[in-house]
Structure formats: C-alpha cells, structure tokens
Amino acid sequence: MHAVESGSLGSALVLRGAPGDVVARLESIAQWREYDTGEPIFSQGEVSSEFVFLVGGSARVLIHAASGQEIAFADIDSGGHMGELSLVDGGARSATVVAASVCIVAAVSHENMLEVLRRNSVIALNLLEDFARIMRGSNNRVVDLSTKSGVQRVYDELLRLAEPTPNGDGSWYIPTLPKHKEIAVWASTTADTVARAIGQLTNVGIVKRRTRALHILDRRHIERLASSGED
C-alpha cells in the first residue's frame, strides 16, 4: 500500500445524486491509496472505522471462520465501497477485504463521513439501499451454507461462472476454469471436494474439459443436482 495523488469520486455509486461540492470536498479530504493485487485493504477484527471508496480495480470480501476456513463473501468493483458496518457502529471490521487487482481507494475518516451523511439525505438513502442489498445477499448465503452440501455449493459456483458459448448454439461453458482452491473459497468447502464434484460430472458426461475451459453438456442436470443433491 502506498499513497497516491487525489482523483475523482464521480463513479462512486453511493454518491449518485449528491451535490458536486459535496463530492469535491470528499475528494479533497480523503486519503488516496494504491494496493497491489493480493494486498489486504483491511483485515477482519481490525479496529478501523474509515469509509473506503473503491475508485479503481476490484476487491474481494473474505470471512475467516473459527475453523480457519476462508470463505469468499462478495466481490466489489470500481465505484463500490467498503467499511459501512464499522462506519455505523464503530465496531471492528467484520471481514477481510483483499485487492483482487491493483486497487485505487479513497478513505474518509469516520467523523467526516458521518457528517456528510447527516447533511446529505440522498447519500444516506443510497447507503441504506446498499445495506438492504447486503442483507438480502447475506440471507441467501446463510441459507445455502446451512441447507446445501459442499458438492451442491460447488455446482452452484460452476453455474455462476458459466456463460453461453460464442457459437450461439445454446450451450454453456466456463472459458477459464479457476483453480480448485479458488472455487472452494466461494463454495465454502475444500479443494478436494471441488475436484471430486467436477470429477463426478466428468465421469457421467455432464461436463467436459477442453484445455483450460470447462464445457457444460447438460446445464439442467447440474441445476437439478445443485437444488436437490440427487442424480
């Protein structure tokens, strides 16, 4: 992490509709920093209440369970933000945020950001909308973790990564299959479980590996497996 010259917050989603002078003041009082890929922007349990705008790059939100397992919770793209929970209650960071690529951020102190919220209802409402989105996502995540097996969550992740093939024939594929360890982080399971789940699909002809891509030959079958866990 190192300091960089100030930039623009014009793409910040939470500031949409805000007066220009308010945005300009935030730009002037923020601490502007750059983080390299893989570098933590802040860590779970850390005592810090800065509100952080992600101006460039992408970041990943990770939660470390008591067992030591690392669980990917969300990705944040340029224009997003982080640190809203600590901003509101002053508590320690509830998750770790790591730069998924080179990131440029603008960090605003707890006191300054709260003052902006008090004086600008449009920003406060934008933040409330984001809280609602986070809560809905959290609820869905909890349901998946509590009701689905690790293998089912791997199937869900494969479906999330899949996209239509360029030939337009209605088939699906994952152009570059991530490493098993990375899929495991999102599926909240182990790399061995990921390997076993993909191996099972390959053995029965539901998917096929071609170089670095994974071609899905029967998407509906995977959807059924993900929802019921039964073949």
Q: What pLDDT does residue 231 have?
A: 47
Per the structure, the complete domain to which residue 160 belongs is given by: 149-228
> Does pLDDT of 66 surpass 80?
no
Q: Does residue 72 sit in the same domain as residue 11?
A: yes
Domain boundary among 146, 176, 195: 146
Q: Does residue 15 sit in the same domain as residue 106?
A: yes
C-alpha–C-alpha distance, residues 57 and 105, integer Å: 9
Q: Does residue 141 sit in the same domain as residue 157?
A: no
What CATH number did the domain enclosing 154 receive? 1.10.10.10
Q: Does residue 121 sit in the same domain as residue 164?
A: no
Q: Does residue 164 sit in the same domain as residue 126?
A: no
> Does pLDDT of 230 surpass 60?
no
> Is 54 in a helix, a strand, or coil?
strand
Q: Does residue 17 sit in the same domain as residue 111?
A: yes
Q: Does residue 137 sit in the same domain as residue 154?
A: no
Q: Does residue 81 sit in the same domain as residue 164?
A: no
**pLDDT tens profile 12-52:** 999 999 999 999 999 999 999 999 999 999 998 999 889 99
Q: Does residue 132 sit in the same domain as residue 185?
A: no
**pLDDT tens profile 204-229:** 999 999 989 999 999 999 999 998 76
Count: domains in the chain: 2
Phi, psi of 93 (to 5 degrees): -60, 135
Q: Does residue 103 sit in the same domain as residue 165?
A: no
Per-chain mean pLDDT for the chain? 90
Q: Does residue 194 sit in the same domain as residue 119?
A: no
Q: Does residue 104 sit in the same domain as residue 140?
A: yes
CB 197 within 8 A of CB 153: no
Domain boundary among 146, 178, 209: 146
CB 104 within 8 A of CB 4: yes
C-alpha–C-alpha distance, residues 86 and 105, integer Å: 17
* Higher per-residue pLDDT: 17 or 188: 17
**pLDDT tens profile 88-97:** 888 899 889 9
What CATH number did the domain enclosing 87 receive? 2.60.120.10
Domain boundary among 88, 111, 146: 146
**pLDDT tens profile 131-187:** 898 888 777 777 777 888 999 999 999 999 999 999 888 889 999 999 999 899 888
